[in-house]
Amino acid sequence: MIKSILKSLVYKFHHNSSRKLVIITSDDWGSVRLSSAQGRQALLNKGIISTDNRFDCYDTLESNQDLEYLFEVLMKYKDKNGAHPVLTAVTNVANPNFEKIKHSNFKEFHFEPFTETLNRQPSSNRVFDLYSEGQRLRIFKPESHGREHLNVFWWLNMLSDKNSIAREAFNLNYYYLTNGDWENKDELHLSAAFDLFETKEIEEHKKIVKSSLKLFKELLNYDACYFTPPAQKYHIDLEPTLKSKGIRWVDVPLWQKMPKGRGKYKHRFHYLGQKSTAGLRYLVRNSVFEPNMYGDSDGVDSCLAQIAMAFRNNVPAIISNHRAAFVGGIDPSNREKGLKALDRLLKSILKNWPDAEFITVSDLDSFLDNN
């Protein structure tokens, strides 16, 4: 009974359709994580990161080659409409400006547009041109992952202590830490940009949302319509701001933990296409494609099973993915495995469901009725 209720929620869609829609949402584009293989080794040596976290094994700024190889795979396939598979690339449009923050003696936060981060690295200096090329070919469509993938206030708070682990990590341009100062510290990750400890932080989050969507438009020349909060955490009070700046879809888990502050959360159920009180639609992912998450497995078969389940229930397959699957800057074999798996996934989708259609989140509106 409980199982069937849960199932009906997982596969509830505002407007059920027998069309076999496939959306691949891929997070973290544009964001820095590990600066380099040497930087990673230094973090490991200092005990700041471990080998348990796959992002701390592989995730780094995308390179020219990463995108070129990824695009090659996407261009190999076409659906029945002649459309190539397309990544909805959930993008951070800025990164911390480490130099300026240090110059302020760790008192002020400064960011730089991610285009500056890219241009500083010769191996990534054509990435932004490739973003444009990917859009022209309709295989890569950036949407919003906020400004930086970082809780600015928590970080500054930690950095104020010159003996903190945050300072040690800062010297290696790294900030994916747990906020160890507070209760429930396992819940409080600096990467959760819009998680909060005090409710007064919400007003600052609103400013960051506005600044991120303004920068998105300046860089990409269109308004983002889809917002994935980093770590899927944000307070519902941000929704009117998101809506007023052009966002139509917000990415939430089926079982959302909305932060209320001080490590407390309100739990809410969501389903795909559900309308929020602020007039946004909720997007709930129902399939996972993470080729570097399961050891020897490439994650393709489990993803295909989830897609099959979505289609059986007449809802679009919303596939969850991260950039870490396709980047080779830390370990080239990670990219090789990820692209091989993507190739097998796309080939299998078209073989199993010849009427599958590849779309982006921005295309999804047309499949909803107006209620």
In the complex with Zn ion, the residue whose CB is nearer, 142 or 230, is 230
| Of residues 20 and 299, the one with the C-beta less far from Zn ion | 299
Element (H, E) at 96: strand 94-96
Q: Give the nearest residue (CB) to Zn ion.
A: 27
Out of 13, 20, 25, 27, which residue is the one contacting Zn ion (CB under 5 A)? 27
Q: Is the Cβ of residue 55 or residue 367 nearer to Zn ion in the bound state?
A: 55
CB of 322 to Zn ion, least distance (A): 7
Residue with tokens 């990750």: 189
349-368 burial string, b = 16+ CB within 10 Å, else e? bbeebeebbbbbbbbbeebb
Look up residue 142 and give its DSSP letter: E
DSSP 146-200: -SSSS-HHHHHHHHTSTTSHHHHHHTTT----B-TTSTTGGG-BTT-TT--SSTT
CA distance 114 to 220: 11
Distance in Å, CB of 149 to Zn ion, minimum: 6
| Pick 145 or 335: Cβ nearer Zn ion | 145
Type of residue at 212: S
Look at residue 266 and give its three-state secondary structure: strand
Instruction: Rank residues 42 and 118 by Cβ distance to Zn ion and give the closer one.
Output: 118
Beta-strand relationship, 255-261 and 249-251: unpaired
Is the Cβ of residue 14 or residue 54 nearer to Zn ion in the bound state? 54
| Distance from C-alpha of 61 to C-alpha of 70, rounded to nearest angstrom | 14
- CB of residue 325 vs Zn ion: minimum separation in angstroms? 13
- Shortest Å distance, C-beta 231 to Zn ion: 7
Q: How far is the CB of 228 from Zn ion (least distance, A)?
A: 7
Q: Using the minimum distance from each CB to Zn ion, give the nearer residue, 230 or 299.
A: 230
| Inter-residue contact 126 to 63 (CB < 8 Å) | no
Rounded least distance, CB 237 to Zn ion, Å: 21
Which residue's CB is nearer to Zn ion, number 196 or number 349?
Answer: 196
The token pair at 70 is 């990824």
Q: How far is the CB of 299 from Zn ion (least distance, A)?
A: 18
- Contacts to Zn ion from residues 223-262, by CB under 5 A: 230
Tokens 């007023």 belong to 244
Stretch that binds Zn ion, among 23-31, 274-282, 297-305, 345-353 (CB under 5 A): 23-31
Q: Are 205 and 212 in contact (CB under 8 A)?
A: no
Torsion of CA 197, 200, 203, 205, to 10 degrees: -10
Contacting Zn ion (CB under 5 A), which of 11, 28, 127, 179? 28
- Is 142 a binding residue for Zn ion by CB under 5 A? The answer is no
**Shortest Å distance, C-beta 145 to Zn ion:** 6
Size of the site for Zn ion (CB under 5 A): 3
CB distance 361 to 25 below 8 Å: yes
* Footprint (CB under 5 A) of Zn ion, residues 286-315: none
Residues of the shown chain interacting with Zn ion in the complex, contacts defined by CB under 5 A: 27-28, 230
